[in-house]
Amino acid sequence: MPRTVGVSLKMYFGHAAALSWFDRVAELAREHRAVASGEVELFVIPSFPAIPGAIAAFEGTRVLVGAQDLFWEDSGAYTGEVSGAELAEIGVRVAEVGHAERRRLFFETDAVVAAKTAAALRNGIAPVLCIGEVAEVTPAVAAAEVISQLDAAVQDAPAGRIIVAYEPVWAIGAAEPAGPDHISPVCRALREHLDAIGRGGTVIYGGSAGPGLLTRLGDSVDGLFLGRFAHDPAALAAVLDEAAAS
């Protein structure tokens, strides 16, 4: 299984800045041996208006383009929403679901997350399912909490690939990520649980993730989900090098 590195741009870039970043990262993807060969999987999740530009920029590379959200229905009178069916039609391959910011700012419940997970999978899109405990607790308590979140999201979902992004809420936007002694046991528990329920899938860590972390985590995770540290393509290249080396 290849290592997986994902980047969500959130709402940090304007349109022109996003297009420029795509061009630089596309060049990196073409030149990076592990990405070009498929040894390391890279996905990029821009804002909705920038998705077509990202798809164009990454044409001819192995980079997957994603969306930061999707609606739980495939069509209808839902002003302001974007369906998984339309996203799949234009070439979106992954979609964030259940990020802590959407739970906090837009009051998304476990039921909403489950409906969006199902919508992604039925349209052939791999959900990047974001789960994480709110308060800093022991790894055992954290594992129990995130496994409960995972089960709620996938219990009625169609078959298909799931990318689980473990993001402790208390580590998002922090100066430092959670420590390896916390991340590793939680991610191992998630992977074991996915296997136990017959889902398989990929388990990556997010939450102030950046260069140097993947080396410290070893094989306890399948990759990283990056935010602000990937705004500099050189930092992203460093993480891709780590992924290839590990």
Six-digit token pair at 181?
């002694």
Contacts of 23 (CB under 8 A, 6+ apart): 57
Contacts of 32 (CB under 8 A, 6+ apart): 40, 237, 240, 244
DSSP 202: E
At 246 the pLDDT is 86
Q: Exactly one of 99, 145, 182, 242 is catalytic; which is it?
A: 99
- Is 43 a residue whose pLDDT tops 90? yes
pLDDT in tens, 98-151: 999 999 999 999 999 999 999 999 999 999 999 999 999 999 999 999 999 999
Rounded Cα distance, 237 and 22, in Å: 13
What's the CATH number where 216 sits? 3.20.20.70
The mean pLDDT value for 61-83 works out to 98
Work out how many domains the chain is built from and give that number.
1
CB 174 within 8 A of CB 208: yes
Q: Is 52 helix (H, G, I), strand (E, B) or coil?
A: helix
Rounded Cα distance, 159 and 145, in Å: 23
- Output the average pLDDT for the chain: 97
Any bridge partners for residue 97, and if so which?
A: 129
Q: What is the pTM of this model?
A: 0.97
At 175 the pLDDT is 87
> In terms of Cα–Cα distance, which of 195, 193, 239 is closest to 217?
239
Rounded Cα distance, 15 and 55, in Å: 14
- Is 8 a residue whose pLDDT tops 90? yes
Sorting pLDDT into bands at 50, 70 and 90, what band is 1? confident
Is 59 part of the annotated catalytic residue set?
A: no
- Determine whether 242 is exposed, middle or buried from the number of CB atoms within 10 Å of its CB (0-12, 13-18, 19+): buried
Contacts of 91 (CB under 8 A, 6+ apart): 55, 65
The mean pLDDT value for 43-57 works out to 98
Sorting pLDDT into bands at 50, 70 and 90, what band is 205? very high
Sorting pLDDT into bands at 50, 70 and 90, what band is 20? very high
Is 167 part of the annotated catalytic residue set?
A: yes
Which residue reads 């496994």 in tokens?
147
At 241 the pLDDT is 98
Total number of residues shown for the chain: 246
Sorting pLDDT into bands at 50, 70 and 90, what band is 63? very high
At 200 the pLDDT is 86
Residue ranges in 131-200 assigned as alpha helix (H): 139-154, 180-196
Q: Is 59 helix (H, G, I), strand (E, B) or coil?
A: coil
Q: Exactly one of 41, 145, 167, 242 is catalytic; which is it?
A: 167
Residue 8's domain spans which residues? 3-245
